[in-house]
């Protein structure tokens, strides 16, 4: 029922820092601020796709998933309700803020908020990158991919595949960790789940550029400004993305890459790998600990 990752929101005490990090490092365009002072970024013709809301701690606020129009949204709501998930209809204030026609949202078993919507507001030929670059690969592949930390892969997979309709692309077992990758369009994965028992968290958002040179020029900028890298330049074994991971002002990483694999849904047989990368993606001498992670279940559960 999900078509693509269409937008994403975070809360952070460092929201303001995205006014420079977004355009000058990522090449995103600043959209006007949100009603709560959120910093909103554009990466294509959509009104905005990344929002950083001011808040007292760093956290993922919501994942925005596109569905195929009003009937698909109604069907999704009915299906979720049948499965015992409480679904709320977004009011006009919320749809205006998210720049969509219609929206419904729910909270999953780990506390992540998902928003399903259709009709993302788009302004053709209007994207102006924040620094010289070729642009981002979006369209039917959506914004990029999101990687969540979950305490149980089995529980997570049951929900995200059976309830939300994601399909497994492949799995990597390496460095004592299992990560599974899921697609909902031709992008190799729009969602990945990393299993860490007892922990819920958010790891990274991947943005794919139109040219390898965009990755190289961003890498130069990160090195020049001595912004912490979570992983050096490298190429992944499964989606073949050439990328690096930079720590954002808000405790999570942006994977900034080019050349990601597209999957043919009819021919996908999940593979398994025992390493993350063909080359590179080395952590720093002092690895960065995930900045968005909390015990699960929490004290209140």
Angle at 206 between CA 23 and CA 235, to 5 degrees: 115
- C-beta of 41 vs 206, nearer to Fe ion: 206
The residue among 44, 147, 143, 35 whose CA lies nearest residue 97 is 35
| Segment contacting Fe ion by CB under 5 A, of 48-56, 74-82, 84-92, 206-214 | 206-214
**Residue from 12, 255, 291, 292 in contact with Fe ion (CB under 5 A):** 255
Q: Residue 41, interface with Fe ion (CB under 5 A)?
A: no
Q: How far is the CB of 213 from Fe ion (least distance, A)?
A: 20
Q: Residue 170, interface with Fe ion (CB under 5 A)?
A: no
| Segment contacting Fe ion by CB under 5 A, of 55-63, 164-172, 203-211, 285-293 | 203-211
Within 13 A of 17's CA, how many CA atoms are on the CB side? 13
* H-helix or E-strand spanning residue 232: strand 229-236
Please say whether the beta carbons of 150 and 194 come within 8 A. yes
- C-beta of 115 vs 255, nearer to Fe ion: 255
| Segment contacting Fe ion by CB under 5 A, of 93-101, 160-168, 250-258, 281-289 | 250-258
Q: How far is the CB of 262 from Fe ion (least distance, A)?
A: 15
- C-beta of 50 vs 206, nearer to Fe ion: 206
| Segment contacting Fe ion by CB under 5 A, of 120-128, 166-174, 175-183, 205-213 | 205-213
Q: Which residues pair with 52 in a beta bridge?
A: 10, 39
Pairing, β 229-236 against β 242-247:
antiparallel
Size of the site for Fe ion (CB under 5 A): 2
Q: How far is the CB of 260 from Fe ion (least distance, A)?
A: 9
Cα separation values, 229 from 217, 221, 232, 268, 288, Å: 15, 12, 6, 33, 8
Q: Residue 206, interface with Fe ion (CB under 5 A)?
A: yes
Please say whether the beta carbons of 123 and 47 come within 8 A. yes
Judged by DSSP in three states, 74 sits in: helix
Question: Would you tell me which residues interact with Fe ion (CB under 5 A)?
Answer: 206, 255
């Amino acid at each position: 029922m999900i078509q693509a990752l269409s937008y994403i929101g975070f809360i952070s005490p460092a929201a303001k820092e995205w006014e420079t990090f977004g355009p000058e490092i990522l090449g995103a365009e600043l959209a006007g601020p949100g009603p709560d002072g959120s910093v909103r970024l554009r990466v294509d013709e959509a009104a905005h796709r990344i929002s950083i809301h001011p808040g007292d701690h760093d956290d993922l606020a919501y994942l925005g998933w596109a569905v195929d129009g009003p009937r698909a949204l109604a069907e999704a709501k009915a299906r979720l309700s049948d499965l015992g998930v409480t679904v709320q209809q977004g009011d006009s204030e919320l749809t205006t803020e998210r720049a969509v026609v219609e929206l419904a949202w729910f909270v999953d078993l780990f506390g992540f908020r998902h928003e399903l919507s259709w009709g993302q507001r788009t302004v053709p030929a209007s994207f102006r990158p924040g620094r010289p670059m070729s642009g981002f690969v979006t369209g039917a592949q959506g914004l990029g991919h999101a990687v969540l930390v979950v305490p149980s892969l089995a529980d997570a997979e049951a929900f995200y595949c059976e309830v939300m309709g994601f399909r497994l692309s492949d799995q990597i077992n390496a460095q004592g960790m299992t990560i599974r990758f899921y697609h909902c369009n031709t992008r190799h994965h729009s969602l990945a789940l990393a299993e860490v028992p007892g922990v819920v968290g958010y790891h990274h958002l991947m943005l794919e550029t139109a040219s390898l040179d965009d990755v190289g020029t961003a890498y130069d900028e990160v090195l020049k400004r001595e912004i912490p890298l979570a992983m050096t330049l490298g190429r992944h074994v499964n989606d073949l993305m050439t990328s690096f991971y930079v720590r954002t002002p808000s405790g999570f990483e942006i994977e900034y890459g080019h050349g990601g694999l597209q999957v043919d849904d009819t021919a996908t047989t999940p593979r398994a790998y025992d390493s993350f990368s063909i080359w590179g993606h080395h952590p720093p001498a002092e690895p960065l600990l995930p900045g968005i992670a909390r015990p699960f279940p929490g004290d209140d559960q």
